[in-house]
Every structure is written in C-alpha cells, then in structure tokens.
Amino acid sequence: MVKKLVALGVALALLALLEPAVAGVKFTDEDLKSEESLWRLYERWGARYNVTRHPVDKLRRFAFFKDSARHVHLHATAAGQAPGLNGFADLTNDEFNRYYKCNMLEAGARRTLPVRRRGDGSLPLPISIDWRIKSCGTGPCLSPVKSQGVCGSCWAFTATGAMESHYTIQGAKDNRGLVDLSEQELVDCDTHSIGCKGGEVDYAFDYIIAKQGLASLASYPYTATNGTCQAAGKPRVDLLLRVYETVPANDEFQMLQAVTYGPVGVSIAVGPNNLEFRYYDGGIYSGPCGVANDHAILLVGYESNLYVLKNSYGERWGDDGYMYLKRDHGK
C-alpha cells in the first residue's frame, strides 16, 4: 500500500511502539437486532463524536448509519475482529469521497538521494520506532492530529506535519518546541498544486524551500477552501529547509532508515470507494488497497510487523487519527 516516500532526515530514535488501540464505538449483534437498538447505537455514536444533526436530517442520516453499521459488522466478523464505528458513519459514500478524499498530482522527476545515518552508516535499524512517545526537550516531537475537512489537501497536511516534527526534533536541545504551520498557505499559494483539488508533497516542500518558511496557523488559519494567497506580511517560522530527500518507491529499507530521523511523508494507494478505509476505526487495517497513489499520509513509526501512520481526517477516524498497517499488507 505504501508506494512513494518523501523524507527529511534529522534525528535518531530507539523506541518501542505502543500496542495498537481501538478507538471507535464498539457494538455487538444485539445492537443490530431492531430499529430501537440501532437508534440507541446511533445516539451513543453521536455522543462519542459530538455529532449533532437537525431532527429532519438526523432521521435521513439514520438510514445511512444503519447501512454503515451493518457493513462494518459484516466485514469485521469475517476478519475475526470486533466491529466498531468511526466518526464518518452517517455520511453517504458519495459525501465521503467528495469531501474527504484527496487528489494527488504526480510530481516531475526528482533527484533521489541516499538517506544517510549518523556514524559510519553501518548501524542496524532499530527494531521499532514511535515518534508519538518520543520527547523533544520538555515537549512532544509530534504535532497533534489535524483535520483537512472538506478539502482534498492531504498533501499539505503531510508536508506541514513532517516539517512541524523535524523543526522540533532539530531544536530539541534548545527546547524549541512544536510549531503550528499553515496548511492554508500551501493550499492558497503553492502554484504547482491546485489547492483542495489536489497537490503533491514534493511541490509543497519546494514551496517551503523557496519561501524559507511558512506562516503559523494562527496568523494564516485553515478554511478548507481554495483562496487567494495572503502570505505577504504574515509572521513566518524560519524552517531553514534547504533540501529534501525522496526515497525510491517501494524501498522499505530506506523508508525505515529515513523514519529513524523523523516522520516521513508517504503516498498510499487507497483506491476508489474503499469502504474499509473509510470505516477504519483502529486496530490493524485489514481492508483492500488500490493500485495508484491517491492519498498522502505521515509515517510516524514502525514495529516488526506494522507501520504507524498519522492521517489528516481528525481524531474521528481510525485510532484517534492514526492507522496501523501490516508491513506486508497488499503483497
């Protein structure tokens, strides 16, 4: 599923991953037995994700919710897993694809550089890495999970997520702390991409290099819409990004080598109408994969048998915004 990889190498971590948790609303066969029990499940789901609907719209969406619950139950049972619902369970599939799917552009030919490790380059890879539990100075190394909302800007969130962490990792000795960079600036101002209609992590990094920084999110807030570039005059975080490295496609060793320095932006192939990816609520992903890259996501760790990925769908998706993917999934 992991296809093309973009990395910036900065620091080394030797950490153990946390065991995958399951964050969705769990339910059983009993919840599907009647309209009343399904309605109670819908109410419990709404309370868990703080979803409120107008009464008329709520009745309409209850029908979509029932279909979601039944599909999730069927798939989870077949996979030997406990069924659970994420925060997108009362949307139609068309709505999810229209509002949350990302559009990826193919960047031009890129210079491929080896990902270098400190020392003589002969150090073995750590057994596991998890940047979520690594500290940089007195704070975390990894910025919080964000939501791209109704905008196909996963590429922008992957770029800022990588830069936010690498900036913090580089400045750990000085306790520089996390920064909150503006995805909206990339959506509005990166002329090689087309905002909510699609982009490429490579192009975002090129933009950051040219500007030598990005506005903070507070001074350039995210609107999840295409807008006119307003970067001029905004306070900027000086990122000192001079070059980035592109890991060869499907080269797992170099990808794992890169993530020892910090989070790595990757492109993955989800595929059209992938309900298992849409409904993913935690645990190890067991659904299908696509054949062409159509989503950008941040690799933040690995274990002997899985990757840990940070998505940009907010905490209502997956394990509070994270995904666990078998390293041999789709092979």
Name the residues annotated as catalytic. Answer: 154, 295, 311
324 phi and psi, to 5 degrees?
-115, 125
Let me know: does 148 contact 224? Beta carbons within 8 Å: yes
Let me know: does 158 contact 205? Beta carbons within 8 Å: no
d(Cα 255, Cα 248) in Å, to the nearest integer?
A: 8
Cα 102 to the chain's mean position, in Å?
Answer: 11
Let me know: does 273 contact 292? Beta carbons within 8 Å: no
Let me know: does 298 contact 196? Beta carbons within 8 Å: no
CA–CA distance from 253 to each of 114, 289, 327 (Å)? 11, 21, 11
What value does the CA radius of gyration of the chain take, rounded to a whole number of Å? 20
Instruction: Give the H/E segment covering residue 326.
Output: strand 322-326
Residue whose structure tokens are 């020892």? 260
Look at residues 53, 46, 51, 86 and name the one whose alpha carbon lies nearest to residue 68: 86
Look at residues 74, 9, 73, 22 and name the one whose alpha carbon lies nearest to residue 48: 22
CA–CA distance from 26 to each of 29, 31, 93, 105 (Å)? 11, 10, 21, 37
Let me know: does 155 contact 311? Beta carbons within 8 Å: no
